[in-house]
Amino acid sequence: MFNNSILNFIYSVVLVAITYAFCRYFNDIGMAGFYSKIQLSSLTPPNFVFPIVWIILYTLLIISFDMILNHPDKQQVWIPVQMFLVNLFLQIVWSFLFFAKGYFVMAFSVIVVLFFASLYLAQRYYYLNKIAAYMLVPYNLWILFAAYLNWAVVDLNGANYAFE
């Protein structure tokens, strides 16, 4: 993207930080509202686990994206950069639908798209930097697990949460 590796790293951090801020904001809405009132899967981790996992995943996303941005062939970086942005956008949309709105089925459909987008992102990374691609494996697995948790909420509570 940039010809300067420091700017690439800053760009990576800023994009992920913006995503984190939006997702955290929407998450806080749900946690302060309906989340404690709905039934969850027995496999749902305790609430304190989620921020820890996301810090690790976001760190891996930053490092792997920075590795891609610093690839010498800037022409080949274009599609992975776009897919990375799509992944971040889908994370925000999912958080908004699930936590801010309680639209569980719509959120599930978005997380399924996010899962396939994350797999495609990993595939595109693989052609440029195998280590960067492998760093996305925990992200892909977590999205798959989150999709299961989202579906369990649909199954146990219905399509939407009726806000009081």
What confidence tens digit (pLDDT) does each residue in 109-133 have?
A: 999 999 999 999 999 999 999 999 9
Identify whether 88 is part of a domain.
Answer: yes
Identify whether 142 is part of a domain.
Answer: yes
Residues 6+ apart with CB under 8 A from 63: 12, 132, 135
Identify whether 18 is part of a domain.
Answer: yes
Q: Please tell me the total number of residues recorded for the chain in this structure.
A: 164
Distance CA 97, CA 114 (A): 13
**pLDDT at site 135:** 98
Distance CA 7, CA 116 (A): 29
Identify whether 164 is part of a domain.
Answer: no
**pLDDT at site 163:** 57
Identify whether 162 is part of a domain.
Answer: no
Distance CA 129, CA 68 (A): 7
Identify whether 163 is part of a domain.
Answer: no
CATH number, domain with residue 32: 1.20.1260.100
Number of domain units in the chain: 1
- Judged by DSSP in three states, 79 sits in helix
Identify whether 16 is part of a domain.
Answer: yes
Distance CA 6, CA 38 (A): 44
Distance CA 147, CA 161 (A): 17
> Is the pTM here over 0.85, yes or no?
yes
Write the CA distances from 70 to 4, 57, 73, 158, integer angstroms.
Answer: 8, 20, 9, 45
- Judged by DSSP in three states, 46 sits in coil
Domain limits for position 133: 5-157
Which positions of the chain have pLDDT values less than 50?
Answer: 164
Distance CA 124, CA 47 (A): 33
**pLDDT at site 161:** 77
**pLDDT at site 162:** 65
